[in-house]
């Protein structure tokens, strides 16, 4: 009953949702061209696929080791990856190229989801982290297609929200064939909102299985030569509105002590690239945009390097000495700190990290995290790390050691999927 009401309300809102998509797509051909996919009109599949849904960039990064492993173990495997955002889709394409298919996920109306299922023909659905939609889960499961939630996390804040709509959430969670939770607290919360105990396992986070390959390392070395090998370089990654001002204020203080220092500033969403560029220039900083291209070395006077391209964050981390992970100076919950940790960088973050609370706590305990609270403490932390190369190396080494000590959840996830998803326990689809 509640799902029917939810679907009715979603249908009523759909014209406004499409209008918002049109408005956001002005000047962006990618967004403008995907409205048909969002209504379920994806390219027909010639055979069954494994549908992997990763809402945006963070979930796509988390899915990368899993997708790579599935392709290796099942050479004939056809994977369709969906995302809700253009940044997530772009990151997937950068990671996997033509090895898999891509589409934008359907809006969660019965018609859009049914059309998608008819055309995509999934044999299994793997959802990353917490991206649960009632019709997506219900209509997929009702067709006998098993649904697994992998790398699942559920903060206490999100669990409280789910409890308020228990009548809608409980049956949806109960339909999941398996939940591979990142931690014991996540598993407990999923059980509390309706998951069957025998269908919930604690596997750890497959984000710890992130690998920096030789190609990425070579690309990062080339970029660092362009930026300047001897100059101090720090990165502020995945920033949101309300953080850029604080980061630029911190960089102004850093420049007072290290005039040659370079800040790589990487906004989370591409629609903010232009506004952030204008803010940097309005602050009087000498700016170079990555989208300008070219292989020439940056001028020594460049103060801010704007990462206004998509799918390159891992590369940019590799060219830095210190990483600040944003979404944490405002109440967005922080972003994944394990990519900079995999490069052996000291990780800085603000106080709001509830999206990855267990990972940040482990990173802090390991000695790889430097907590900050705002512009002044961020500037002080960057200055302290730049002034002490031994401290910088030790902190980065502690961050990398945490990664190495926690590798392995991917194998547990793959075994669990093989047991619960028939398509992965038998011959490849």
* Residues with catalytic function: 59
Contacts of 345 (CB under 8 A, 6+ apart): 317, 320, 321, 322, 323, 396, 399
Count CB atoms within 10 A of the CB of residue 46: 8
Centroid of chain to Cα 366: 23
CA distance 60 to 53: 8
- Cα angle value 328/334/336 (rounded, 5°): 135
- Cα angle value 167/168/172 (rounded, 5°): 115
Question: Which runs of consecutive H residues, i.e. helices, occur in 147-213?
Answer: 156-164, 166-174, 184-192
Q: Are 53 and 126 in contact, with CB atoms under 8 Å apart?
A: yes
CA distance 319 to 225: 9
Contacts of 102 (CB under 8 A, 6+ apart): 80, 81, 82, 83, 89, 92, 93
**Which candidate, 344, 129, 314, places its Cα nearest to that of 237?**
314
């Amino acid at each position: 009953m509640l799902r029917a009401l939810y679907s009715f309300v979603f249908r009523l809102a759909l014209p406004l949702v499409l209008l918002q998509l049109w408005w956001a797509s002005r000047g962006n051909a990618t967004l403008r061209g995907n409205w048909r996919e969002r209504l379920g009109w994806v390219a027909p599949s010639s055979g069954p696929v494994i549908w992997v849904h990763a809402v945006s960039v963070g979930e796509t990064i988390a899915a990368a080791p899993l997708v790579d492993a599935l392709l290796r173990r099942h050479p004939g495997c056809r994977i369709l990856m969906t995302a809700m955002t253009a940044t997530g889709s772009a990151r997937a394409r950068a990671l996997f190229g033509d090895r898999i298919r891509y589409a934008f996920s359907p809006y969660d109306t019965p018609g859009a989801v049914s059309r998608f299922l008819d055309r995509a023909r999934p044999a299994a659905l793997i959802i990353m982290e917490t991206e649960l939609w009632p019709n997506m889960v219900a209509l997929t499961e009702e067709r006998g297609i098993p649904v697994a939630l992998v790398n699942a996390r559920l903060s206490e804040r999100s669990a409280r929200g789910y409890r308020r709509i228990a009548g809608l959430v409980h049956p949806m969670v109960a339909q999941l064939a398996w939940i591979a939770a990142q931690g014991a607290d996540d598993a407990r919360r999923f059980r509390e909102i309706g998951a069957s105990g025998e269908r919930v396992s604690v596997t750890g986070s497959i984000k710890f299985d992130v690998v920096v390959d030789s190609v990425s390392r070579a690309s990062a070395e080339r970029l660092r030569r362009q930026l300047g090998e001897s100059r101090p370089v720090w990165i502020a990654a995945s920033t949101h509105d309300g953080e850029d001002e604080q980061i630029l204020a911190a960089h102004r203080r850093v420049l007072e002590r290290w005039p040659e220092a370079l800040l790589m500033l990487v906004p989370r969403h591409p629609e903010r690239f232009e506004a952030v560029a204008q803010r940097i220039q309005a602050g009087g900083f000498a700016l170079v945009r990555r989208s300008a291209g070219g292989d020439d070395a940056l001028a020594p006077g460049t103060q801010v390097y704007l990462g206004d391209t998509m799918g390159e964050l891992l590369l940019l981390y590799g060219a830095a000495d210190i990483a600040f992970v944003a979404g944490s100076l405002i109440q967005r919950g922080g972003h994944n700190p394990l990519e900079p940790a995999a490069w052996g960088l000291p990780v800085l973050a603000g106080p709001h990290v509830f999206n990855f609370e267990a990972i940040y706590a482990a990173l802090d305990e390991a000695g790889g995290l430097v907590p900050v609270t705002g512009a002044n403490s961020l500037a002080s932390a960057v200055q302290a790390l730049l002034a002490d190369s031994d401290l910088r190396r030790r902190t980065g080494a502690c961050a990398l050691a945490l990664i190495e000590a926690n590798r392995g959840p991917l194998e547990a996830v793959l075994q669990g999927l093989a047991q619960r998803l028939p398509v992965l326990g038998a011959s490849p689809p």
